[in-house]
Structure 1
Amino acid sequence: MSAPTPAADAPQPSLVSSLTRTLLAAVVLVWALGTVLVAWYVNYQIQHNFDFELSESAHRQLFAAPMYIPAAGEEIPAVMHEPPDTVHDAPLLLQLRDLQGRVLVRTAAAPETGWTSQLAEGFSDTHNYRVFTLYDPAKQLWLQMADTREERREASRNTLSGLVLLLLLILPVLAFIIRWVARRQLRSLGDIQEQIQARNGRNLEPLRTTHYPLELAQVGLGVNLLLDRLQEALNVERSLAANAAHELRTPLASVRLRLHTAIDQAEASAAASVPLSEAKAALQALETLSHRTERLLQLSRAEAGDTARFAPLDLVQLAGTLAQEFWQQPRALKRLDWIAPEGHEPVWVLGDIDSLAIALRNLLDNALTHTQAAVELSVERSPQPALVVRDHGPGVPTAQLPHILERHVRADSQRLGYGLGMSIVGSIVQKHGARLELRSPLEDGSQGLEVRLKFASLSAPTAG
């Protein structure tokens, strides 16, 4: 059982889009991880700076603290004022406490009660404050300074918000840059794709792999090896067909000649050792085999594009010559009509006269063989040069028209040739860059089949 294939209408993501999404996701992930690490480090530095400033301020205030202590008999002030030269972003939080832990004086922003129940030098944390404590043994005073924890958290939040905002602002720019870089770097992949699509049975030239990245150059070299093998296989096939057809022509001609002689002698003699019907049937079979052998040889030549010699040629002269050739056959003498353009003016195209003669000969032979009706051969000048072969036979069903050019396909059970004749025509038309059009029934609605070969216009060649 074959593996299920994706739906035909399912959109295929481009490599540029896939790379952009993958790289952008990876960058965002790394950036987010880096942001977390940077935020942690910055928060650590913020806390360290806050602690340093708190410690430094505490040591400065310790030297100035005695001026706030009242002399004997003076009233202890409830709130002390900050020195005039003290500059803070927030109100100074300071308490002076005695050995029993009572708050002697404090700044206006400091609470009335002590921050900590027990006094010890160094940093300590409460629910709302970060406290630094110093002891003055000379005055036997404890000095405590504090920062609010909310102030520290706000500083950390502002820093982290800045980092995240920067990421969000740069993210669209980063996505555009990644997509632009991916598209630019993968441009050579599209070039290789175009080269591969241009290759067919008549164009197996190696791909250009210069100026490509190493990986794409290796892919191109692999495709070139495959093209070389295909070229070799096609050469073997064409050589086999050409050699087989060529080798069969001579013995077939000899057998046909002997059968013709035997039939002539049998018809002249009353006593024939072989019945005439058997001899004629054998001759008909040989005629058919000779016809197919000739078609194989023509097909091999038609597909060997390197043997073609393109030059300006006159379609009127070509068609007239082929009409004269077919009029030598009894079956075509009264059925083939040659309709030349008005004034018999030349109609010039660029082509290989031998190949086009083979194509036109096959079209006429098919029309005369497959029908018993009239056959018309004409050349059109406008809107573009064209060779037209039209028969008035039963025609071909519309559904079968696309399959006429396939090899080994008959339009019906009565037709001979296994489709080689039209396949030869298709190969020659493609080699000339022309267009082949099939119509059945005819344009006026009557039955029949029309084959039209359209060519690019060519101005009349100049002499010498």
Structure 2
Amino acid sequence: MLRAASMTRRLAVALTSVVMLFWMVALGLGVYVMHDEFTEIFDSGVQETAERLLQLMADDIAVNAGDSAAAKTVVAPALNAQYLTYQVRDRNGKVLFDEGAPQPFPVPLTTGFSQTATYRIYTAGAKDGSLYVQVADAFEHRTEALMEGGLALLLPLLFLIPGSIVAIVLVVRSTLSPVQRLRDEILTKDSGNMAPIDEGTLPKELRAIARSVNLLLARLKAAFEAEREFTSNSAHELRTPIAGALAQTQRLMSEVPPAFHQRTGQIERALLHLGRLAEKLLQMSRAEAGIGISDEKTDLLAVLTVVIEDLERSALGTSRLHLHVADDTVLERPIRADAFAIVLRNLLENALIHSPPSSPVNIYVDAGGLRVTNDGPVIDQRTLAGLTRRFSRGPTEATGSGLGLAIVERLAEQMQGRLLISSPVPGTEQGFQAEIRL
């Protein structure tokens, strides 16, 4: 299954990529501009140097023109050989003086710029064409200056890029935090929490979503309340006529001839089943209403004791319930006593009804919750997985509505716990175990 894409990650990657792209484009433009500027600066320096040298050499030659011996001693000024080289040539191209370039430059004696594969050369000539000065600047010097300038622009980016990535991630997370809050609030909504989402704390882009969710919650709440009200009212309204019909049936059994006892017994069993179903529907309605959580802590061991004593007074639970409480166990939770009693009663009734007659039902209690075990055949895993669905029953001939474990699971979720069922009982080869972790 593909992992869902994160908006934060996608935005951070996209923004970082765009920023880096813009920086690289800006760096390229900067290097391009520097190249043009450096070319102008270097060319200007080479031209100025050539023109000044031409003037100096012309003056020296003019002063020493009448003295051939003195002319031979004329020494041209030295330049920085690391960057510039030059030659002084006559109209025939003969090299009169040179600095770092004894061989004539392979360029024409024409005033202006020319270049070879390795040099940029400026030629300055006298008006009468008798004297030329050629100053050469190596391209490697210009490339070196350009590289150093580009590196000076790039180095700060090596520190700015990681910092900007962190800053972009933080800004994106901060900007998208309302989306996270809205998502978290929506995740908390279920049949027990239909409170509307507060739109006032959300940015305007999300308010339409929150408003739509609130409208949906309102419709769902109305539907759930109508369903619960109908179930609760139906269960309440059915209890009285069922009890009356059961009493009349039992009285009728004592008055009719024995030949009719079988039929009246069937009616009695049907009415008893209908009464239990009405009671389970009422419990389910209360469970759906969200009665599990309380503002104050309740001693659940005391509730457990009361429920066990009540069941032991019935014919079904007499001498069958065995309570095992771990030493120094304190079981106090912010849970309503009546909700926990419903959970316990359903678990114990299921264990008593679906186990062999007179077989023991054990209740083990520790600080983390309780578990109820009973004898019986092993239930296969496929059937076991469906027992918590409404009106779902295992392979049993015992009477029941198929709602007990569904009610327990719903209330356990409200109590911030969970229901765990297993068969066989761990450590044995048969039986059934229901565990509530709180």
TM norm. shorter chain > 0.5: yes
Query: Per the alignment, do residues 112 and 322 of structure 1 end up closer, same or farther by CA in structure 2, a change over 3 Å counting?
Result: closer
SS at match of 1:394: coil
Instruction: Quote the RMSD (CA, aligned, Å).
Output: 4.1
SS in 2 for 1:107: strand
2:357 equivalent in structure 1: 373
Match of 2:138 among 148, 167, 170: 148
**Pairwise CA distance, 1:409:** 1.9
Partner of 1:290: 275
2:65 to 47, 65, 71: 71
Distance 1:123 1:321, change over 3 A: closer
1:414 equivalent in structure 2: 397
Shift of residue 177, structure 1, vs aligned partner: 4.1
User: Kindly, what percent of the aligned residue pairs are identical?
Assistant: 26
Determine if the alignment matches structure 1 residue 394 to structure 2 residue 404: no
Cα distance in 1 for residues equivalent to 2:286 and 2:364: 27
Alignment of 1:426 onto 2:376: no
Shift of residue 43, structure 1, vs aligned partner: 0.3
* Number of residue pairs matched by the alignment: 435
CA contact (8 A) 1:388 1:451 kept: yes
Question: Aligned match of 1:97 in 82, 86, 90?
Answer: 90
Q: TM-score, normalised by structure 2?
A: 0.79
Per the alignment, in what secondary structure is the counterpart of residue 357 of structure 1? Answer: helix
Structure 2: distance between partners of 1:78 and 1:130? 30
Rounded Cα–Cα distance in structure 2 between residues aligned with 1:378 and 1:198: 36
Is 2:420 the counterpart of 1:405? no
> What does residue 238 of structure 2 align with?
248
Q: 1: distance between equivalents of 2:7 and 2:398?
A: 50
Helix, strand or coil for the counterpart of 2:339? helix
Provide the secondary structure at the position in 1 that maps to 2:222: helix
Distance, in Å, in 1 between the alignment partners of 2:193 and 2:13 is 38
Answer whether contact 1:103 1:112 (CA < 8 A) is retained. Answer: no
Q: Which amino acid aligns with 2:16?
A: L
CA distances 1:40-95 after superposition (whole Å, capped 9, x unpaired): 111000101111112222332333232342514627978964436x6675244243
- What is the CA deviation profile of residues 352-384 of structure 1, one whole-angstrom value per residue up to 9, with x for unaligned ones? 232233223323332333234236567766x42
Q: Is contact 1:79–1:106 with CA below 8 Å preserved after alignment? A: no
Deviation (angstroms), 1:421: 1.0
Q: Distance in 2 between matches of 1:165 and 1:336?
A: 83
TM-score w.r.t. structure 1 length?
0.75
Q: 2:34 matched to 1:51?
A: no
**In 2, Cα distance between equivalents of 1:257 and 1:435:** 39
- For residues 136-184 of structure 1, give each alpha carbon's deviation from its aligned partner in whole angstroms, at most 9, with x where no partner exists: 3378544443323343333334433444455456544444444454455
Seen in structure 2, the aligned counterparts of structure 1 residues 415 and 198 have a Cα distance that, compared at 3 Å, is farther
SS at match of 1:105: strand
The answer on 1:230 being equivalent to 2:220 is yes
| CA shift in 2, pair 1:95/1:358, >3 Å | same
Contact 1:375 1:389 in 2 (8 A): no
Would the alpha carbon gap of residues 360 and 39 (structure 1) be closer, same or farther in structure 2, given more than 3 Å must change?
A: same
What 5-or-longer segments of structure 2 have no aligned partner?
none
1:41 match = 33
In structure 1, distance between residues paired with 2:362 and 2:43: 103
Distance in 1, Cα, partners of 2:431 & 2:252? 39
Indicate the SS of the match to 1:305.
coil
Provide the rounded CA distance (Å) in 2 between the counterparts of 1:78 and 1:16.
81
Q: Secondary structure at the match of 2:88?
A: strand
> Does the 8 Å contact 2:391/2:403 carry over to 1?
yes
Q: Which residue in the other structure is 2:341 paired with?
A: 357
| AA in 2 matched with 1:428 | L
Which region of structure 1 is more displaced relative to structure 2, 254-263 or 280-289?
254-263
Instruction: Confirm or deny that 1:26 pairs with 2:9.
Output: no
Cα distance change on mapping 1:330 and 1:59 into 2, 3 Å: same
1:3 alignment counterpart: none
